[in-house]
């Protein structure tokens, strides 16, 4: 049953990933994500249904527009595959559960935010702020289904705690932490703490570890320097994934080591 849920979620993720490509391109430009329909930026011809099948159409067209031959970035199918992989992973992890829709939403909005942050070093409020009520409603419904009010209370408390932490960091070091990151932190805290304090602690810490490792890699291998600006939003979201999937075991292992 779990494998079936993972496969269904993965296929659903391919379709969502196709839509996310539109979101990633249009939201930073202040354009509608529903109108006009998808079209080639080179010749402005609308993209027909047969050319809009996730991944498959890109492969059949060899990465070029059917009408004018304009190259279509490989990132389009990669976003679709990434979204499908995350959806499948969450489907396999949570199974057919009340909390699955909440974490599928997190995967979708997380992919969009990460890609936009990499592109323009900004986390748009139009995606971040609605994630608060959406997350609260979806996780609240899951808490009701599980008859566990404490999980929701813990999630809300984690939301406040992580938001306060990021806000403090932004006040102390404004050049290293943007307010887009602060706004996103509450969403991450909500989703991690709903699962448990271990997930919150590991996920929050992992974001800074991953960010530090990538920063060192840029300095050592890509000619980066102290003034190289690297968006932190993707690291927060990667940290959230680490917290969700391995937060419990990592926290238990750490506790065991410190108890010796």
Residue 200 has pLDDT above 70, yes or no: yes
Q: Could you tell me the two tokens for 2?
A: 């779990």
Contact assessment for residue 21 and residue 78, using Cβ atoms and an 8 Å cutoff: no
Confidence of residue 225 (pLDDT cuts 50, 70, 90): low
Q: What is the pLDDT of residues 81-139, one digit of tens each?
A: 999 999 999 999 999 999 999 999 999 999 999 999 999 999 999 999 999 999 999 99
Top pLDDT among 97 and 226 is at: 97
Average pLDDT, the chain: 92
Tens-place pLDDT, residues 10-66: 999 999 999 999 999 999 999 999 888 888 777 878 888 888 899 999 999 888 888
Tokens of 11: 């296929």
CA nearest to 134, candidates 108, 157, 160, 164? 108
Per-residue model confidence (pLDDT) at position 63: 86
Name the band, by pLDDT with cuts 50, 70 and 90, for residue 259.
low
pLDDT of residue 162: 98
**Confidence (pLDDT) at 241:** 98
**Can you list the pairs that 2-7 forms with residues at least 24 positions away whose Cβ atoms lie under 8 Å?**
2/91, 2/92, 2/95, 3/92, 5/91, 5/92, 5/95, 5/96, 5/100, 6/88, 6/89, 6/91, 6/92, 7/88, 7/91
Mean pLDDT check: name the lowest of 8-12, 143-147, 163-167, 255-259: 255-259
pLDDT band at 140 (very low <50, low <70, confident <90, very high): very high
Q: Which of 70-84, 146-160, 207-221 has the lowest mean pLDDT?
A: 207-221
């Amino acid at each position: 049953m779990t494998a079936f849920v993972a496969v269904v979620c993965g296929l659903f993720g391919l379709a969502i990933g196709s839509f996310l490509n539109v979101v990633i391109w249009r939201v930073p430009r202040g354009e509608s994500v529903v109108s006009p329909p998808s079209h080639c930026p080179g010749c402005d011809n609308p993209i027909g249904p047969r050319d809009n099948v996730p991944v498959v159409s890109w492969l059949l067209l060899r990465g070029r527009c059917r009408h004018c031959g304009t190259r279509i970035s490989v990132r389009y199918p990669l976003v679709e595959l990434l979204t499908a992989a995350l959806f499948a992973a969450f489907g396999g992890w949570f199974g057919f559960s009340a909390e699955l829709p909440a974490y599928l939403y997190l995967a979708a909005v997380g992919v969009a935010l990460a890609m936009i942050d990499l592109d323009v070093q900004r986390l748009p409020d139009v995606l971040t702020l609605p994630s608060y009520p959406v997350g609260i409603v979806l996780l609240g419904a899951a808490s009701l289904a599980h008859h566990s009010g404490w999980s929701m209370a813990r999630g809300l408390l984690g939301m406040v705690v992580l938001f306060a932490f990021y806000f403090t960091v932004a006040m102390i070091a404004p050049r290293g932490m943007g307010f887009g990151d602060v706004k996103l932190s509450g969403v991450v805290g909500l989703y991690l703490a709903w699962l448990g304090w271990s997930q919150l602690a590991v996920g929050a810490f992992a974001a800074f570890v991953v960010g530090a490792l990538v920063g060192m890699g840029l300095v050592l291998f890509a000619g980066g320097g102290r003034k190289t600006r690297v968006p932190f939003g993707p690291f927060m979201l990667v940290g959230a994934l680490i917290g969700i999937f391995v937060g419990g075991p990592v926290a238990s292992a750490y506790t065991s080591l410190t108890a010796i």
